[in-house]
Amino acid sequence: MTGAALTLYTTPWCGYCHRLKMALKVSGISYHEVDIEQDPAAAEFVGSVNGGARTVPTVKFTDGSTLTNPDVSQVKAKLAEMGTG
C-alpha cells in the first residue's frame, strides 16, 4: 500500500467500482485495491463503516476517514482537504 493515496474496497462485479477505478486512474490518483470477497477482514471493515452493509466502493483515506460510493470529485475534495491532493 506504500505510496497509495487511498484504499479502495471493491468486488469484481461492482459496476460503480469499475467506474471509480477508471476515474481515479484518469485523474492520476493512486490507490490500493482490496477485493472484499477475497479478504474477510476487509469485508468486516466495510460493514463496520456502512452500518453493517458491505457497500462498495468504499474508500478509506490515510487519515482513517471513509467515503461510500463517492464520485471522483468527492475523492479529490477529500484529498485536497487532507493536503495530499
Predicted local confidence at residue 18, as pLDDT: 98
Q: Are strands 31-35 and 66-68 parallel, antiparallel or unpaired?
A: unpaired
The three cell numbers of residue 75 are 475523492
**What CATH number is given to the structural domain containing 32?**
3.40.30.10
Q: What is the mean pLDDT of residues 15-33?
A: 97
Helix-then-strand count for the chain, H and E: 3, 4
Let me know if residue 1 belongs to a domain.
no
Task: Provide the number of structural domains found in the chain.
Answer: 1
Let me know if residue 46 belongs to a domain.
yes
Let me know if residue 30 belongs to a domain.
yes
Q: Does residue 72 carry a pLDDT above 60?
A: yes
Q: Does residue 4 carry a pLDDT above 90?
A: no
Q: Does residue 1 carry a pLDDT above 50?
A: no
Range of the domain at 25: 6-82
> In the chain, pLDDT over 70 holds for what percent of residues?
96
Let me know if residue 77 belongs to a domain.
yes
